[in-house]
Structure 1
Amino acid sequence: MVQHISWFSNVDYEIFLFFEEHDIGATAKVVAYNIGYDSNYVNRRLRALESAGLFSNDGGIYELTDFGREFIEGEVDEDELTDPDS
């Protein structure tokens, strides 16, 4: 599983766990349904993770980027991530 990141929300870890177990493209609604969170909240968090370069979004379908996969594998440190709120 991914390391603790200071600006992550709890749902972010659930999102990564979902995509780690299912390497697919999925809408925020599908992800939210499967992890038990509100779809609007999951969509906001996926957009933040997209801004950090961890996910791509093509017409509302989110997928892990290569950078996101490296992050899951523990090959990316927190200082390599861009906090979307800063």
Structure 2
Amino acid sequence: MVERVPWMAPVDYEIMLFFDEHAIQVSPRVLAANIGYDRQYVSKRCRTLSEARLLNAVDTGLYQLTETGVAYLEGELDADDLENAEPE
């Protein structure tokens, strides 16, 4: 299990796990339908994760997990490093 980062919402981990399990580019709408959260909330959290360099906005409205995101999920990235990357 990865160490929780204080600024992260519970859905953030689910978003990142979805991308880790499905190596595809997905819109927040499709992502929300698959993880059971509101589309607008998922869209906001995807932007936040992108600002923290855990997701990458690859095209208009599409996201994918970054290498930093993979490292975090694999426990190879210290949560303190992400605290310093807290999005605005």
Q: Would you say same fold, with TM above 0.5?
A: yes
C-alpha displacement of 1:3: 2.6
Show the 5 A alignment for 1:35-54: 35-54=35-54
C-alpha displacement of 1:2: 3.4
Runs of 4 or more off by more than 3 Å in structure 1? Answer: none
Moved more, 46-55 or 12-21: 12-21
Moved more, 36-45 or 63-72: 63-72
- Where 2:53 maps in the other structure, the secondary structure is coil
Match of 1:63 in 2: 64
> Gaps (5+ residues) in structure 2?
none
Aligned length: 85
| AA in 1 matched with 2:15 | I
Q: Which has the higher contact order (CA 8 A, sep 6+)?
A: 2
C-alpha displacement of 1:9: 0.6
Question: Is 2:16 the partner of 1:2?
Answer: no
Match of 1:75 in 2: 76
| AA in 1 matched with 2:43 | N
Sequence identity (%): 48
The TM-score normalised by the length of structure 1 is 0.90
2-structure distance, mates of 1:2, 1:16:
12
- Where 1:6 maps in the other structure, the secondary structure is coil
C-alpha displacement of 1:24: 1.1
The TM-score normalised by the length of structure 2 is 0.88
